[in-house]
Structure 1
Amino acid sequence: MSRTPRFVPRNFCGLPPAYSSWDSARAVIIPVPYDLTSTYVSGSRSGPDAIIGASMNMEHFDEELRVETFRIGIHTQDRLEPTASSPDDMIAAVERAVGRVAAAGKLPVTLGGEHSITTGALRALKRRHRKLSILQLDAHADLRDAYQGTRQSHACAGRRAAEMGTLVQAGIRSLSAEEERFRLGSDVATFFAADIAEGRVSAQEIVAGLGEELYITVDLDALDPSVMPATGTPEPGGLGWYQLLGILRAACAGRRVVGFDVVELCPIPGNVAPDFLAAKLVYRMLGYVFADLLGRGGSARRTRKTPDAGHTRAPGETKGGGRHLRRRRSDGA
Structure 2
Amino acid sequence: MGNNIDFYVASQYTLFGTPRCGRGIPILGIPMEDTVSFRPGTRFAPSIIRSWSQYFEFTPTEDLGIDPLDKICDLGDLSLLQGMIDRNLERINLVVRDAISTWGRVINIGGEHTLSLGVAKAVRESQGSYGIYIHVDAHLDSREEWPIGQSLSHATFVRHLINQVKPQLIVFLGFRSYDREEMNFVSRLENSILLSTRDVKSMNNHELRLLMRGAIDSYPGSIHLSIDVDVLDPSVMPGVGNPEGFGLSYSELLRITKAILDYGDSRVKAVDIVEYSPPNDPGLMSLPTTIRLILDVLNYIRT
Q: Which runs of 5+ in 1 are unaligned?
A: 1-8, 291-308, 310-333
Which runs of structure 2 are paired with 1:65-76 in the superposition (5 Å)? 65-76=64-75
SS of match in other structure, 2:80: coil
Asked if the contact 1:134/1:161 (under 8 Å) is kept, the reply is no
The runs of 5 or more residues in structure 2 that have no matched partner are: 1-11
Structure 1 pair 270–229 and aligned structure 2 pair: CA distance change class (3 A): closer
Q: Which residue of 2 aligns with 1:330?
A: none
Matched residue of 1:127: which SS? helix
Query: 2:21, 2:115 → 1: CA distance?
Result: 23
Aligned match for 2:183, one of 180, 185, 197:
180
2:16 to 13, 17, 21: 13
Q: Report the alpha carbon displacement of residue 196 of structure 1 after superposing the two structures with TM.
A: 1.8
Query: Is 1:248 matched up with 2:246?
Result: no
Gap change, CA 1:75 and 1:84, over 3 Å in 2:
closer
Structure 2 match to 1:62: 60
Q: In structure 1, what is the equivalent of residue 103 of structure 2?
A: 105
| C-alpha distance in structure 1 between counterparts of 2:256 and 2:65, whole Å | 19
Checking the alignment, whether the CA contact within 8 Å between 1:220 and 1:231 is kept in structure 2 is yes
Distance in 2 (CA, whole Å) between partners of 1:287 and 1:92 is 30
Contact 1:227–1:240 (8 Å) recurs in 2: yes
Q: CA deviation at 1:99?
A: 1.0
Equivalent positions of 1:42-191 (< 5 A) are: 42-64=40-62, 65-77=64-76, 79-129=77-127, 130-148=129-147, 149-163=149-163, 164=165, 165=167, 166-186=169-189, 187-191=191-195
Query: What TM-score, normalized to structure 2?
Result: 0.85
CA-CA distance at 1:288 after TM superposition: 0.9
Separation in 2, partners of 1:146, 1:88: 16
Q: Paired residue for 1:236, among 229, 232, 245?
A: 245
- Equivalent in the alignment of 1:257: 268
Whichever residue aligns with residue 48 of structure 1, its letter is P
State the distance in 2 between where 1:22 and 1:247 align: 28
> Cα deviations across residues 114-133 of structure 1 (Å, max 9, x unaligned)?
00000001101112331421
Equivalent of 1:278, from 287, 290, 293?
290
Judged with a 3 Å threshold, the aligned counterparts in structure 2 of structure 1 residues 182 and 270 are, in CA distance, closer, same or farther, namely closer
Matched-pair identity in %? 24
Judge which range, 92-101 or 149-158, deviates more: 149-158
Matched residues, number? 278
Q: Take 1:152 and 1:37, find their aligned partners in 2: how far apart are those partners?
A: 8
The corresponding residue for 1:220 is 229
- Partner amino acid, structure 2, of 1:178: E
Deviations 1:11-65 (A, max 9, x none): 11112xxxx13223x2112112121211111111111112212322222343513
User: Which residue of 2 is the match for residue 313 of structure 1?
Assistant: none
Deviation at 1:110, TM superposition (A): 1.2
Three-state SS of the structure 2 residue aligned to 1:114 is coil
Q: 1:203 corresponds to which residue?
A: 208
Structure 1 pair 11/179, CA: closer, same or farther in 2 (3 Å)?
same
Q: Which amino acid aligns with 2:156?
A: C
Q: Which structure carries more helix by proportion?
A: 2
Distance 1:226 1:52 in 2: 23
Moved more, 264-273 or 97-106: 264-273
Question: What is the aligned partner in structure 1 of residue 5 from structure 2?
Answer: none
Deviation at residue 236 of structure 1 after TM alignment: 0.4
State the match for 1:293 in structure 2: none
The structure that has the greater radius of gyration is: 1
Deviation (angstroms), 1:136: 0.9
Match of 1:30 in 2: 28
What is the root-mean-square deviation in Å for CA atoms of aligned residues?
A: 2.1
Rounded to whole Å, the distance in 1 between the matches of 2:104 and 2:204 is: 37
CA distance in 2, matches of 1:262, 1:235: 18
